[in-house]
């Protein structure tokens, strides 16, 4: 404890020495966090030290100011607030158990008078931002709730109204509405709050004592409405007593002057939750508009409770009871409306409050379901179609071209601008794809890019006809210059299959031409009959007539003329064959050069 006493006297914030002080006292197993036994040992030391400070404080001195001094540097804190600050810092940084600060505050309130408890609670309110942190408050909320409830029991409901309100506001700030400790789920009424009034009349008092007893006897029903709904005899007694009171109020209406004379705004400043029940004050209280309003609002609250739906049909009032409730409620509302000042406005506000109270009743009847909703799971939502951007000149390219109009002459003369690449430069990426050692997967080859292949074929048609001619046999990979290919791949494309195809086609054409000639000669010899007349044959591609053989006068040629004509035909056929061969070769070359490239076969 002596170490803590020295630490309390040290200047500066607690973070400068708090942890070092704990380590000096406890010598913990861990450097920054105490284990369970160490926490219990430290808590016992702090509780003993706190009790010593409270005992040392003089009876006339406030314990929160005990040890406070004034020096050149200013006013120093008292011992107890300084000790609480150190413990609060250690709890906040998780060096010690988080509920220790709440336990010390509970001990401090139990050892202090109500006058000192106000100062202690003021300290609690000043630290509520730190005490209310989830990781800290979750460990000590039950202790804090118990501390506040004990304070409320010790306070006077009539004399300490403001302090009670401060405590309730503090609890409402930290506890949610669905906190079951404050819900009164069973609906238990505070029957211990009894209204005591005179049982025997006093001498010399000019007042109807029966009315006096009847009036104050209604408080028994107002404090426990459940007794009225379940006992028909009590309900009859209540309605008869209420009818007497309402008749008196109706017989003695209040004027606007009486309402103005009783300034309700000034009365609200000195508001008291309990009215005096002396028979001597009965006449004055009946002329007080605020007093009447309190009684009439009590009636509306009781009627609202009786009409509220219960969990079963047995909790509902009977039909005759409903009619009496409606009749009495109309009379009460009419009296509230006639009570000055601003009776109509006051009635509307009360009706609005009671209407909202039904939501609270329904919520409690359904089991006090939590207000907080679980966060919605984020689902992958497909992106909608994006709106097409609007361009000034129709599209992005034209807009940029117009924007750069002033720079176009310089861009055209710029040597770094985009130019047509060379054959070697253009086909280099595809050549790298064809190299097996590069390890490029087939799906990433440039030959799969139709635009790249199309541009390459157009470039080869302009600058490399020899390579362009290889497209038919080897596809797009055959167009790549051999210089760019590695040796093992180059051998595949070095052969000239076009030359072999040309020669084979030429020999095939020549062979077919000779075959045609031989067929013609054989056909001519066999088609001649005994009279020298030529017969038609569909298989012979040539027909002879008299005009076709020179030197014949008639339609039938002589054997000499036929032989001469046959020799001339052979010479003509031979010349025509040479001409056809040349045309076939030219046609093959032209066909290869001018062939239409089908992009679907590229690659």
Q: Which pLDDT score, from 0 to 100, does residue 98 have?
A: 86
Q: Are residues 331 and 427 in the same domain?
A: no
Q: Is 399 exposed, middle or buried (0-12, 13-18, 19+ CB in 10 A)?
A: middle
Domain termination site, one of 495, 519, 539: 495
Pairwise CA distance, residues 194 & 189, whole Å: 12
Residues 559 and 469 in one domain: no
What's the confidence (pLDDT) of residue 106? 94
Pair type for strands 74-75 and 70-71: antiparallel
Q: How many domains does the chain have?
A: 4
How many other C-beta atoms lie within 10 A of the C-beta of residue 36? 8
Q: Which residues pair with 71 in a beta bridge?
A: 74
What are the distances in angstroms from CA 452 to CA 428, 448, 470? Answer: 12, 8, 17
The pLDDT, as a whole number, for residue 264 is 52
Burial of 266 (0-12, 13-18, 19+ CB in 10 A): exposed
Same domain? For 334 and 457 the reply is: no
234 within a domain of the structure (yes/no):
yes
**Distance of alpha carbon 65 from alpha carbon 164, whole angstroms:** 23
Last residue of a domain, one of 495, 528, 549: 495
Residue-wise pLDDT tens digits, 113-142: 888 999 999 999 999 999 988 888 888 989
Query: Look-up: residue for tokens 């909608």?
Result: 384
pLDDT value, residue 250: 94
140-158, pLDDT tens digit by residue? 989 999 999 999 999 988 8
Q: Would you state the pLDDT for residue 220?
A: 92
Where among 120, 155, 175 does a domain terminate?
175
pLDDT along the chain (603 residues), means of 10: 77 81 75 78 87 80 74 66 90 87 93 91 92 88 92 89 93 82 80 87 83 94 88 92 96 79 53 79 91 95 86 72 94 95 94 92 81 77 76 80 70 72 91 89 91 93 89 90 88 63 48 52 44 40 40 45 46 42 40 40 38
Partners of residue 528 on adjacent β-strands: 534
Report yes or no on 243 lying in a domain: yes
**Which backbone phi and psi does 82 adopt, to 5 degrees?**
-65, -40
Say if residue 359 is in the same domain as residue 215: yes
Are 286 and 156 in the same domain? no
Conformation bin of residue 577: beta by default, left when phi > 0, alpha when psi is -120 to 50 = alpha
Kindly state whether residue 303 falls inside one of the protein's structural domains.
Answer: yes
- Residue-level pLDDT at 428: 92
- Whether the full predicted model's pTM is greater than 0.85, yes or no, is no
384 inside domain: no
| pLDDT at residue 273 in the model | 63
Q: Are residues 116 and 152 in the same domain?
A: yes
pLDDT number for residue 356: 93
User: How many angstroms separate the CA atoms of 268 and 264, rounded?
Assistant: 6
Angle between helices 161-174 and 134-154 (to 10 degrees): 160
Of 136, 142, 130, 135, which is closest to residue 175 (Cα–Cα)?
142
Q: How many CB atoms lie within 10 A of CB 176?
A: 10
Do the Cβ atoms of 307 and 358 come closer than 8 Å?
no
- Residue 354, H or E segment: helix 343-365
Do 578 and 558 fall within a single domain? yes
Q: Are residues 521 and 486 in the same domain?
A: no
Residue 376 lies in a domain: no
Q: Based on the domain organization, do 221 and 339 belong to the same domain? A: yes
Mapping DSSP to helix (H, G, I), strand (E, B) and coil, where does residue 530 land?
coil
Whether the CB-CB separation of 580 and 511 falls below 8 Å is answered with no
- Determine, yes or no, domain membership for 480: yes
**Does the N-terminal peptide bond of residue 182 adopt cis geometry, omega within 30 degrees of 0?**
no
Task: Please give the Cα distance from 175 to 433 (Å, whole number).
Answer: 70
Report pLDDT for 69: 63
Both 224 and 331 in one domain: the answer is yes
Residue-number span of the structural domain to which 229 is assigned: 209-365
**φ/ψ of residue 68, rounded to 5:** -75, 140
Is 184 contained in some domain?
no
pLDDT at 226: 87
pLDDT of residue 361: 83
Burial of residue 451 (number of CB atoms within 10 Å: 0-12, 13-18, 19+): exposed
Does residue 19 sit in the same domain as residue 153? Answer: yes
User: 438: which DSSP letter?
Assistant: G
Complete DSSP assignment for 150-184: HHHHHS-TTT-HHHHHHHHHHHHHHS-TT-GGGT-
pLDDT confidence of residue 536: 42
Verify that 93 and 153 share a domain, yes or no. Answer: yes
Residue 186 lies in a domain: no
Q: Which pLDDT value is given to residue 588?
A: 36
């Amino acid at each position: 404890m002596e170490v803590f006493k020295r630490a309390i006297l040290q200047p500066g914030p607690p973070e400068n020495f708090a942890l070092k002080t704990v380590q000096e006292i406890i010598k913990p197993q861990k450097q920054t966090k105490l284990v369970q036994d160490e926490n219990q040992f430290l808590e016992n030391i702090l509780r003993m030290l706190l009790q010593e400070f409270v005992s040392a404080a003089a009876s006339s001195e406030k314990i929160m100011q005990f040890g406070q001094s004034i020096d050149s540097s200013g006013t120093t804190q008292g011992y107890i607030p300084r000790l609480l600050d150190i413990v609060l810092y250690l709890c906040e940084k998780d060096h010690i158990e988080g509920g220790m600060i709440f336990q010390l505050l509970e001990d401090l309130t139990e050892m202090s008078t109500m006058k000192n408890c106000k100062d202690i609670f003021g300290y609690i309110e000043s630290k509520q931002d730190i005490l209310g942190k989830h990781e800290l408050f979750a460990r000590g909320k039950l202790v804090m709730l118990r501390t506040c409830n004990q304070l409320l029991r010790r306070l006077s409901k009539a004399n300490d109204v403001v302090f009670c309100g401060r405590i309730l506001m503090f609890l409402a700030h930290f506890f949610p509405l669905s906190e079951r400790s404050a819900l009164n789920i069973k609906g238990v009424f505070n029957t211990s709050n009894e209204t005591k009034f005179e049982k025997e009349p006093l001498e010399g008092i000019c007042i109807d004592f029966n009315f006096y007893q009847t009036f104050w006897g209604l408080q028994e029903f107002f404090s426990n409405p459940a007794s009225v709904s379940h006992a028909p005899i009590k309900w009859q007694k209540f309605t008869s007593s209420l009818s007497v009171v309402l008749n008196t109020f109706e017989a003695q209406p209040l004027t606007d002057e009486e309402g103005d004379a009783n300034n309700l705004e000034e009365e609200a400043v000195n508001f008291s939750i309990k009215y005096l029940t002396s028979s001597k004050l009965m006449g004055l209280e009946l002329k007080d508009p605020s007093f009447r309003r309190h009684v009439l609002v009590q009636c509306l609250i009781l009627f609202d409770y009786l009409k509220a739906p219960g969990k079963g049909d047995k909790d509902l009032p009977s039909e005759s009871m409903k009619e009496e409730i409606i009749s009495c409620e109309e009379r009460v509302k009419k009296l509230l409306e006639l009570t000055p000042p601003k009776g109509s406005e006051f009635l509307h506000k009360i009706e609005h409050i009671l209407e909202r109270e039904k939501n609270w009743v329904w919520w409690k009847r359904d089991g006090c379901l939590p207000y907080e909703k679980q966060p919605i799971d984020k689902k992958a939502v497909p992106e909608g179609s994006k709106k097409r951007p609007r361009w000034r000149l129709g599209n992005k390219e034209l807009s940029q071209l117009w924007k750069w109009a002033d720079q176009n002459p310089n861009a055209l003369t710029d040597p770094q601008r985009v130019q047509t690449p060379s054959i070697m430069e253009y086909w280099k990426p595809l050549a790298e794809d064809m190299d097996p050692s590069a390890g490029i997967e087939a799906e990433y080859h440039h030959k799969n890019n139709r635009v790249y292949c199309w541009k390459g074929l157009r470039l080869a048609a302009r600058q490399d006809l020899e390579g362009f001619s290889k497209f038919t046999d080897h596809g797009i990979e055959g167009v790549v210059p051999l210089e760019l290919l590695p040796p093992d791949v180059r051998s595949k494309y070095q052969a000239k299959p076009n030359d072999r195809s040309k020669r084979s086609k030429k020999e095939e054409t020549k062979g077919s031409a000779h075959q045609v000639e031989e067929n013609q000669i054989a056909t001519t010899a066999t088609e001649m009959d005994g009279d020298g007349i030529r017969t038609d044959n569909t298989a012979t591609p040539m027909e002879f007539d008299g005009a076709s053989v020179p030197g014949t006068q008639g339609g039938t040629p002589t054997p000499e003329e036929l032989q001469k004509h046959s020799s001339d035909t052979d010479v003509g056929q031979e010349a025509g064959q040479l001409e056809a061969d040349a045309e076939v070769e030219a046609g093959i070359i032209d066909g290869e050069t001018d062939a239409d490239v089908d992009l679907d076969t590229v690659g």
